[in-house]
Structure 1
C-alpha cells in the first residue's frame, strides 16, 4: 500500500514572549513553546492513524499543520507524494484543500449559529465552485444529510435545534461535501455523551468503508481509539514516543508512558492485573525536562534518561523512543 500522507520531522514553535517593553523593563528573555518537535509518520490510503496523549501534548497542533492552518517551523508534510507547504501557498492550494478536510472538536463552536444547515453544508460546494445550480446544491445537501443519518428536511433548521451528536453529524456532512480523500478528526466525539459517541464513530467507520477515506484521528480516549484506529501514535510533550499497529500497542505496550495510559483505562473484566496509576503532571512546556521528557514520571528512569533524548527507533516491530526499551530493561 502507498502512503497518502507522509510527515517528516514536523515541528512547530510558538513565540509566547511578553511584549517587547515588558521584556526590557523586567529583563525577561523571549519564551518559546515547542508544541510539535520532530514528529514523523505515514498514513496508508484508506487507513486510520490515531494520535493519543494527555492534553497539551501537541496532537491538535499536528492536525492544524496537516491541513495548512499553521505553517510548520521545520519539516514537511507530503500529500499523495506532493509537499503541501508549497501547494498551500500557490494556486494549487484550493484543489488540495478540497481533498483534505477537518472535523473540529466542539460541534457547538464550529457551526455558524446564524446560518441554516442548508447554508452550512452548501458553503464548501459554493466556495470550491463544485456546484452553482441551486437545485443541484439542494439535492447534494439532502444527500449528505442522509449519508450521516439525518433527514433532508433538517436543512431548514438552525444548529441550536439539534443535539451535540446531531451537530457533529452536520460537521461531518460539511466535511464530506467536497468529496475529500483525507479527513483530520480533532477529538470529534470528546464533547459528546458515550452513547452518542458510538453512533458518530460508527457513521465515520461506515463512511470510511464506503468511500475509502483516510483518517487522522486525534483523541485522548483510548477506548475510542481501540474502536477506530489501524495504527496508534502516542505523543508526549510534542514528540512521538511510540508508534505501533493497534493490536500490538494494546496487547504489548512498550513505552512506560503508553503502559501508564493503558493502565488508566477502567478494567471491566477485573483481571487482577497489577496496575500503575498515572503519576505526576505533564511538565511545563515552557521549561521541559532535559533528556527524555518523560523521565520525571518514569519508574524506569536512569542517569542516561536525564541526559540524553531518546530517538524514535524501530524495536521489536514497533517504533519507540525509550532508553529502557532499547537497553532491554523493560
Structure 2
C-alpha cells in the first residue's frame, strides 16, 4: 500500500437496504385476506472502510449483520443504495462479465466451517477451485504448489491436500476456508462470524492468523460478530447495528472507553470484567422487537431508559455527535 492509498476508503457503502418479501402464498392471502409482509432486513446502512483496516459490525442476532455481508459480496442484490469498491459501482459490476474480476478482489469467509466446505471434495480441490474457476491456474504441478503455499499461509501443511474435511477439527476447517478465500489474492475479505462456531482457544489461533495475513498482505476486512471481546481484538472501527440500522460508528477505543448510544452501553455492560467485580451490571433489557412490525420512531425506544415522546415519534439520523457517528435523540439533546 503506497502513501497515496493510505487513508483512502477502499469500500464506501451508501444507504444500503435489503427488503425480503416473507408473505404467505398468494392463495392463502386471498382466503385469509392478509396483506403482503415485507421484512426490512437492512434499512439504510452507510459506512466506509479504509484500505488495510478492519470495520467490525456487531449486534444481537437478527439485526441484519449477515445480510450486509451477503450484500457486500453480491450474493444478494440491494433493494436500495449501493456500494463503491475502489471507486467502482460494485453491484452494477457484479451483473456484467467484468464482475468476475471484481469477485476475485472480494471474497467471503463463512460462519460455519462444517457447512461451507464440500464434504465429498479433498482439500486440494476445495482450495484449488477458485484458482481454476478464475483461470488463474489450471491443473498440474503449479496448482498443487500454489495450494500447498496457501495451506502453509494459514498454518497447515501441504501434506493435508489429499484429506477430506471430516478429517480436520473445526479450527483447521476454518483455516481451510480462509485459504480458499485467499486463493484469488483478494484485497477485501468479508468475514461473517468466522470464529463463532469454534472453541475459545481455537478462536484466538484463527484470529491471530487473520491479523497476520492482514499485516502481510494489506487486506481490508469487514468483520461480522456478536462477540465484543473478539471485536476488540481485531477491529479498527466498530459499527453497532440494531434492527437493520447502524446506531453508532466509532473508532474501537472510543467505542469501548466511552460508548454514546444507550444500546452500545447495554451491550458493553453485559460483558463481565475482572476489574469491576462486585459492581452491579445492567443486563440488556427487554427483547428485540419483531422486525416485521418494528416500533415507530427510534426502534430502540421500547428498551431505552432515556426514551421520550420524540424518540417514539421521530427516527434519529446517524450523525456526527461528540466525535462519533450516533443515531440518538438523547445524545443529540445532551440528556445522557
Report the TM range for the smaller structure's normalisation. over 0.9
Alignment match, 2:231: 225
In 2, the alpha carbon distance for the partners of 1:267 and 1:251 equals 13
Alignment match, 1:100: 106
Alignment match, 1:200: 206
Alignment match, 1:280: 286
Q: CA deviation at 1:268?
A: 1.9
Unaligned runs of 5+ in 1: none
Pick aligned residue for 2:59 from 34, 53, 58: 53
Pick aligned residue for 2:27 from 1, 21, 32: 21
For the 8 Å contact 2:132–2:139, the answer to whether it is kept is no
User: Could you give the per-residue CA deviations for residues 65-100 of structure 1, whole angstroms, max 9, x where no partner exists?
Assistant: 000000000001000000011100101110000000
Establish whether residue 80 from structure 1 lines up as the match of residue 86 from structure 2: yes
Establish whether residue 324 from structure 1 lines up as the match of residue 314 from structure 2: no
Q: CA deviation at 1:273?
A: 4.5
Pick aligned residue for 2:184 from 178, 194, 218: 178
In 1, the alpha carbon distance for the partners of 2:258 and 2:71 equals 30
Alignment match, 1:308: 314
In 2, the alpha carbon distance for the partners of 1:174 and 1:42 equals 26
In 1, the alpha carbon distance for the partners of 2:92 and 2:76 equals 13
Alignment match, 1:235: 241
Normalising by structure 1, what TM-score? 0.99
For the 8 Å contact 2:18–2:78, the answer to whether it is kept is yes
Establish whether residue 91 from structure 1 lines up as the match of residue 97 from structure 2: yes
Unaligned runs of 5+ in 2: 1-6
Q: CA deviation at 1:274?
A: 4.5
Query: Structure 1 stretch 302-311 or stretch 260-269: which is displaced more?
Result: 260-269
User: Could you give the per-residue CA deviations for residues 206-227 of structure 1, whole angstroms, max 9, x where no partner exists?
Assistant: 0000000000000000000000
Q: CA deviation at 1:241?
A: 0.1
For the 8 Å contact 2:107–2:186, the answer to whether it is kept is yes
Q: Residue 119 of structure 2: SS of its match in structure 1?
A: coil
Alignment match, 2:172: 166
User: Could you give the per-residue CA deviations for residues 221-251 of structure 1, whole angstroms, max 9, x where no partner exists?
Assistant: 0000000000000000000000000000000
Query: Structure 1 stretch 221-230 or stretch 262-271: which is displaced more?
Result: 262-271
In 2, the alpha carbon distance for the partners of 1:226 and 1:86 equals 34
Normalising by structure 2, what TM-score? 0.97
In 2, the alpha carbon distance for the partners of 1:133 and 1:279 equals 56
Q: Residue 334 of structure 2: SS of its match in structure 1?
A: coil
User: Could you give the per-residue CA deviations for residues 165-203 of structure 1, whole angstroms, max 9, x where no partner exists?
Assistant: 000000000000000000000000000000000000000
In 2, the alpha carbon distance for the partners of 1:92 and 1:306 equals 46
Establish whether residue 266 from structure 1 lines up as the match of residue 272 from structure 2: yes
In 1, the alpha carbon distance for the partners of 2:325 and 2:279 equals 25
Alignment match, 1:245: 251
RMSD: 0.7
